[in-house]
Every structure is written in C-alpha cells, then in structure tokens.
Chain A
C-alpha cells in the first residue's frame, strides 16, 4: 500500500469516526468542555492526521501540521490506527500490549478510552 493509499485509508477511518461520534447523543455530555487537538501518527508510514474536538463535537479532520502545540498524540502502525478508529480492535488491549501509544495526561487517556467504550463496546 502506498503512502497516498494509507493516508486515504486513515482519513476515511477518521471521517467515519467523526460521523459516529457526532451522531452519538451521550458523547456530547462526555466531550463537554473537552476541546482538544489530537494528532494521529503512523509509525510505519509518513502519515499523520489531526482530529479537532470543539464544543462537544469532532469539528474537523485535517492533515497534522508539524510544530503545532498538541496535547494528545496517538501513535501506532497504520493497520492498528485504522482498526481502532473503525472499531475493529479494542484500544485498551492494544495500549496494554504496547501496540498503540497514547501521549496524553491520565485524564485525557481515560477520556479517549471512554469514547471508544461508548461507541463500540
């Protein structure tokens, strides 16, 4: 798979994720007051995207810009990231196995997991 294909696949997964989160009424409460820029980085390809959470919604999916001041970075192989955002694999298990890395405060880590838990479990 070329870098362009991988970028497209990740963008597609993130767009699906954005739609699911924004349609879920209970996530509004959870995301209240939690405005964050989340960078998603592939560690096996030169692909990185960003999710922007604003006013209890995923407002945008965009290319990550280098040097931007981010508070949350998620990192893993391309297949792991696509699987996580499409709900095929449990982020908790991947995190415990070291296959998914989350650079964030404890509170933000649990918040991310809560989103996954509510969407897919």
Chain B
C-alpha cells in the first residue's frame, strides 16, 4: 500500500469516525441534560454519563460484527430480521420510525430555543416549521452533507464544546451545591444512565456508509468505539462544567443548557459559539434522521412492508418524494403536538428508553447469530465473548426500564406513550407482514408506474 493510498485510507476512517460523532450530536441531546440533572447530579451524574458511553462502546463492537455480516444494509431491519424474523424486526423498525417523529419534535423545539437567543421574537411555530421545512427541502432536492464537510462540522462541534466547558470551569469560582448527588434516589441514578444513552444515540448510523466491502473489516467497526470515546470525554466535560457552573434549578428547566453555560461563564462569544453548535448539530443529525427515515420508509414500501404509495419516486431526481413528505409532515405534526402538550421531556424520555431497548436488541442479535449462523461470513468479530454481549444487552435493557420506572410526576404519560408505540408498531408489523405473505400477495400486480403515479 503506497503512502497516498494509506493516507486516503486514514482519511476515510476519519470520515467514518466523524460521521458517527456527528450523528450523536443533537439539540435534543443537549435538552436531555436538563432531564438528567433531575435524576442525579455531581459525580453520580458524571459516572452515569461515562457508564452510558462505556456500555454503548462495548455494544458498538457487537454492532460492528453485525455490520460486517451485512455490509451496507439498513441496520435495524436487516440485523434483527436475520436474528429474530420478519415480525419482530419490522415492529422494531416501525418503533424506530416513531422515534424519528418524537425526536423531530424535541429537536425542532430545541433548535427554535437556540435560534431564539439570536431572534427573541421568533415564535415556536415559526422556528419549528423553519427547521423541518429546511431539512425537508434539502432532502427533496437530494442534498447530502458532503463527508468532508461532516468531518469539519464534527471537529468544530467537539472543539467548541470542549473549549467552552474548559473555559467555564477555569473562569470562575464554582457555584455552591447543596443538592443530593441523586435527587431521585438509586432508581434515579440508574435511570440517569438510561437517559444518558440518549446523548450517544445515532453513533451506529455510520454502519451503512461504508464505501467498500473492505471498510467493514476494521474501519467501520472500530470507528464507533473511537467516536464513543471522544463523545464520552466531551459529554463528561460538559457534565462537570454544567454541574460546577450552572445551578441545578436552571438546568432542570433548560432545553439549551450548553448555551446557558456559554452565556453565564464565558460571555457573548461563547454563547454564540454554542448557538453555532446547535445549528451544526441540527443540520447534520436532523437531516440524516429525516433522510434515513424516508429512505427506510421507501424501501419498506418497495418490500411490500408499507403502503405502496410511499414507493413513488421523482421522475427527475429519483428521490422518494412521497416518503420524504410523509416523514416531514408527520415530524411537523409531532412537533406541534409536543409543543401544544408541552411534552418534550416525556418525548425525549420515551426516545431514550426505546433506543436503550434497540441497543439491547443489537447485542442479543449478535449473540443469537453466533449460535444460529456460526459459519456465516464475518469480516470482523467483536472481541467480547457471547455471555458478555448478553450481559451488556441485559444491562442496557435494564437502563431503559429504569428510565421508565424512575419516579416523576408525569410517569404515567411516559409509560403510556412507550406502551402505545410498542403496541402500534407491533400491530402495524403484524398487518403488513400478513398482507405481504398472504397467498394472493405472492405475485402482486405490477405497481402503477412509480415515476408517473400522481
């Protein structure tokens, strides 16, 4: 391998690491910090954030193995179908699409909250609509953030967060804290780990992005733990800075604690830097979420696991316009509903619990496939033995359950919302699998010309 080939290979690997980091940064993740400070604070919260990062890192090795078995495949649907069958995998895929909708509401409102620091008269409706319409427009135009730009954006976000955290810690005498380390008790401390998982979610979205089969031997699998190590350091530093410099009473009510931190302790420049972080985070993650969601919906429709109208393509660009508009419209409705009901905290908690469950499923899938398909080709194998993978999956599930079980005034709404999504996803999966596998559906009539259908 010549020096230029080796340099290009390193650059490619860096692009994977930055994509994994970039997908995890989101305005809604910062908003989750307020929730975390309601469960725990101080060293307990720092331990929770680090523990969540370590667990995600360990599980990412199992995800890397699954990706090496099914390179380029849309992870959640393919891995879980291979391990647990069509019904289960489709139910989890629909649940993930629900997460995209809930996440969009939290993300667009947190984005609006960040933008309002610059434009105080911006209404929530206008801010959220602007966020969703911009991202939908970019998707319809077929715009993708170039990989090198993603690398620069991820590097900027990391550098700005680390700089503001360190600057804040060094700038002033820490605020006095008299709060208990775990305001919500032991369950709250475990729930904080479940909530902290939400900070890292999205890191696995790098798995379909490999440029070649060779990328799945090491570059893609190892990009995730490396990205998670960077994220753990960044979120750990931010946790300490928030804890030491911003009173808990402010944190618990804030959707933009990083901006509060910048403003309080490092001045207007730092506040603007944190607003820039919010905008970059939304541009990369929200765009990827909406794009990924619409592509998933499109391909499910092509596989007759969703309504066939979602398989329509633009005759000019070949973009799945109806899937994009359906996802964008549903995201907008979810955003309005969350705003009307003031349900951001509940929506973020449900997303976090669902994500913890999905990561647990990935761990179980990797272990299950070792047993059911021992001789299948794996260009990468997690160094963790199967019992450890199972234990990690079990713990991740436990964190998600603790998040649902944690004492809070709106616990019924959170548990009800979670149960509703599980029930609705399972019902949809049952209906679509049954429809697709019914005898009369085996040889379907040709679709209306998808490029011309109106």
**A residues with CB within 8 A of B:** 26, 29-30, 32, 41, 43, 73, 75, 90, 92-93, 95-98, 101-103, 105-107, 109-111, 113-114, 117-118, 121
B142 cross-chain contacts in A, Cβ below 8 A: 107
Q: Are A103 and B298 in contact (CB under 8 A)?
A: no
Least distance between B92 CB and chain A CB atoms (Å): 14
* B256 nearest CB across to chain A (Å): 30
In the bound complex, CA of A112 to CA of B215 (Å): 21
Partner of B212, one of A29, A73, A96, A121: A73
- Cα-based distance from A111 to B82 in the complex (angstroms): 26
Question: Closest Cβ of chain B: how far from A18's Cβ, in Å?
Answer: 19
The reply to whether B313 and A73 contact each other, CB–CB distance below 8 Å, is no
A96 to B86, CA, bound (A): 11
Return the chain B residue nearest A105 by Cβ: B144
Contacts of A113 in B (CB 8 A): 299, 302
- The reply to whether B211 and A103 form a contact with Cβ atoms under 8 Å apart is yes
Given contacts A73-B212, A93-B303, A110-B319, contact A118 B451 (CB under 8 A): yes
Residue of A nearest to B212 (CB): A103
Residues of the A chain whose Cβ atoms lie less than 8 Å from the Cβ of B446? 121
Contact of B78 among A26, A97, A118 (CB under 8 A): A97
Question: Given A26-B451, A114-B318, do A101 and B295 touch, yes or no (CB 8 Å)?
Answer: no
Q: How distant is the Cα of A110 from the Cα of B78 in the complex, in angstroms?
A: 17
Interface centre among A73, A101, A109, A111 (most CB of B within 10 A): A101
Any chain A CB within 8 A of the CB of B133?
Answer: no
**Contact between B144 and A90, CB atoms less than 8 A apart:** no
Nearest residue, chain A, Cβ from B215 = A103
C-alpha gap A90/B442 in the complex (Å): 13
Bound complex: CA A32 to CA B259 (Å): 45
B213 at interface, CB cutoff 8 A: yes
A48 to chain B, nearest CB (A): 11
DSSP majority for the A interface?
helix
B-side interface size class: 35 or more
Complex partner residue of B213 from A92, A101, A109, CB under 8 angstroms: A101
A30 to B72, CA, bound (A): 24
Residues of A within 8 Å of B318, CB to CB, are 30, 107, 110-111, 114
Binding site for A on B (CB under 8 A): 69-74, 77-78, 81-82, 142, 144, 210-213, 215, 291, 295, 298-300, 302-303, 311, 313, 315-316, 318-320, 446-447, 449-452
Give the chain A neighbours of B320 by CB distance below 8 A. 110
Are B450 and A121 touching (Cβ within 8 A)?
yes
Q: CA A41 – CA B213 in complex, angstroms?
A: 10
Cβ contacts under 8 Å, B210 to chain A: 103
Inter-subunit contact A118/B450 (CB<8 Å)? yes
Contact of B316 with A92 in the complex, beta carbons under 8 Å: no
Give the residue name and chain of the A residue nearest to B304 (CB). A93
Given contacts A110-B295, A121-B450, contact A98 B211 (CB under 8 A): no
Q: Which residues of B contact A30 (CB under 8 A)?
A: 315-316, 318, 451
| CB-CB nearest 6 A-B residue pairs | A98-B70, A92-B302, A114-B318, A111-B318, A101-B72, A98-B73
The interface residues of chain A lying within 8 Å CB-to-CB of B291 are 106
A95 touches B295 (CB 8 A): no
* B81 shortest CB reach to chain A, Å: 7
Q: Complex Cα distance A98/B210, Å?
A: 14
Contacts of B69 in A (CB 8 A): 98
Q: What residues on A are CB-neighbors of B449 within 8 Å?
A: 118
Q: Chain A's nearest CB lies how many Å from the CB of B361?
A: 16
Selected from B72, B302, B316, the residue in CB contact (under 8 A) with A90 is: B302
Tell me if B81 and A97 are in contact (CB < 8 A).
Answer: yes
Bound: A96/B318 CA distance, A: 19
Q: How far is the CA of A95 from the CA of B449 in the complex (A)?
A: 21
List residues of chain B with CB within 8 A of the CB of A75. Answer: 71, 213
B450–A96 CB distance below 8 A: no
Distance in angstroms between the alpha carbons of A11 and B78 in the assembled complex: 29
Which chain B residues lie closer than 8 Å to A107 at the CB level?
142, 144, 318-319
Given A26-B451, A110-B320, also A96-B311 (CB < 8 A):
no
Known: A96-B81, A98-B82. 13 other contacts (CB 8 A): A26-B315, A30-B315, A30-B316, A75-B213, A90-B302, A93-B303, A97-B81, A98-B69, A103-B211, A114-B318, A117-B311, A118-B450, A121-B446
